[in-house]
Amino acid sequence: MDRSAAAPGVLEGSDVGSQKDRVVTEEEWLQKWEMGNIGFHKEQGHPLLQKYLNVLLNGRSGLRIFFPLCGKAVEMKWLADMGHSVVGVEVSEQALKEFFAEHSLPYHEEPVPEISGAKKLQSTSGNISLYCCSIYDLSSYVSLMITLMEKNSSYLLVTVSYDPNKHKGPPFYVPESEIKSLFGNHCEIKCLQKVDDFSDRHRQWGLDYFLEVLYVLKFVA
Ligand SMILES: C[S@@+](CC[C@H](N)C(=O)[O-])C[C@H]1O[C@@H](n2cnc3c(N)ncnc32)[C@H](O)[C@@H]1O
């Protein structure tokens, strides 16, 4: 079923309302994992990633694919099974251990000498390397993504859209204008699809629409 949606009254511009400057702290994320409060994790994978995987792969094999903020995303296993290698970064060690356990993948751990307290958990087969540290230990997120992208490489980015005056987040509303101001100097930005993802959970938050918005960013300079 194509759930493409024309959302009523979708906000744009920089109108993030009451969410300005809101963040979920690392401690809050760790707590979510400890409490099993992980409604963001999709056990069957993300339907938009499945649908648009070809946009990312573009017929190429043996890629090295980066999953920032990877959690225990099941797509990491699929892509490794397809012959790609996967690098992830995640602050919750529990999430990474659950990933390996749930896919019955043996792994080993080693410290990352360059980053105090960081660990690398690597599948024994060597094709999945997951770094347990804050992505901000590596660099700021956008500049990191830009430095990792080679010319013509593609980055699939999913955001959510709803009326931020009705829900304080998380997840936080990210307008297209923000994507443009963060990445626009280096990337061509194309919105691939807006999908209606509205459910009872969102109604309980006081919302009347909730969209997922998928972009493909192509690094050009
Ligand atoms: C929206 S969830 C993504 C979950 C993932 N798609 C999955 O299926 O499990 C965001 C993830 O980023 C992690 N995270 C948040 N801030 C982080 C940071 N500064 N560095 C590394 N990971 C972070 C959280 O622990 C959480 O697992």
Q: Which element (helix H / strand E) includes 120? A: strand 119-123
Q: How far apart are CA 104 and CA 43, in angstroms?
A: 15
Classify residue 7 by burial, with Cβ atoms within 10 Å: 0-12, 13-18, 19+: middle
Classify residue 213 by burial, with Cβ atoms within 10 Å: 0-12, 13-18, 19+: buried
Nearest ligand 1 atom, CA 141 = 19
Q: b/e per residue, 145-158, with b = 16+ CB within 10 A? A: bbebbeeebbbbbb
What pLDDT, on a 0 to 100 scale, did the predictor assign at position 9?
43
- Cα distances from 61 to residues 54, 58, 84, 106, 139, in angstroms, run 11, 9, 7, 24, 28
Question: 86: Cβ below 6 Å to ligand 1?
Answer: no
Cα of 4 to ligand 1 centre, how many Å?
Answer: 26
What pLDDT, on a 0 to 100 scale, did the predictor assign at position 112?
85
pTM of the predicted protein model: 0.78
Mutate to test the pocket of ligand 1, among 26, 49, 90, 174 (most ligand atoms within 8 A of CB): 90
What pLDDT, on a 0 to 100 scale, did the predictor assign at position 139?
61
DSSP 205-219: TT-S--EEEEEEEEE
Mutate to test the pocket of ligand 1, among 29, 115, 140 (most ligand atoms within 8 A of CB): 29
- In this predicted model, what pLDDT tens digit does every residue of 134-180 receive, in sequence order? 988 876 777 777 777 778 888 999 999 999 999 988 999 999 999 99
Residue found under tokens 């969209």:
211
Question: 159: Cβ below 6 Å to ligand 1?
Answer: no
What domains can be seen in the chain, in order of their start residue? 17-219 (3.40.50.150)
Question: 207: Cβ below 6 Å to ligand 1?
Answer: no
Q: How far apart are CA 63 and CA 148, in angstroms?
A: 13
First to last CA, the chain: 37
What pLDDT, on a 0 to 100 scale, did the predictor assign at position 17?
64
Cross-strand partners of 161? 211
Length of the chain: 221
Considering only CA atoms, which of 132, 128, 74 is closest in space to residue 99? 74
Structure tokens at 187: 């990337």
- In this predicted model, what pLDDT tens digit does every residue of 7-18 receive, in sequence order? 444 455 456 666
Is residue 117 left, alpha or beta, with left meaning phi > 0 and alpha meaning psi from -120 to 50?
left
Question: 42: Cβ below 6 Å to ligand 1?
Answer: yes
Q: What is the residue with the minimal CA distance to atom 10 of ligand 1?
A: 69
Nearest ligand 1 atom, CA 135 = 20
Question: 92: Cβ below 6 Å to ligand 1?
Answer: yes
Kindly give the confidence (pLDDT) of every residue in the chain, 221 residues in length, as a single tens digit, with 9 standing for 90 and above.
333 333 444 455 456 666 767 789 999 999 999 999 999 999 999 999 999 999 999 899 999 899 999 999 999 999 999 999 999 999 999 999 999 999 999 999 999 887 888 999 999 999 999 999 998 887 677 777 777 777 888 899 999 999 999 998 899 999 999 999 989 999 999 999 999 999 999 999 999 999 999 999 998 87
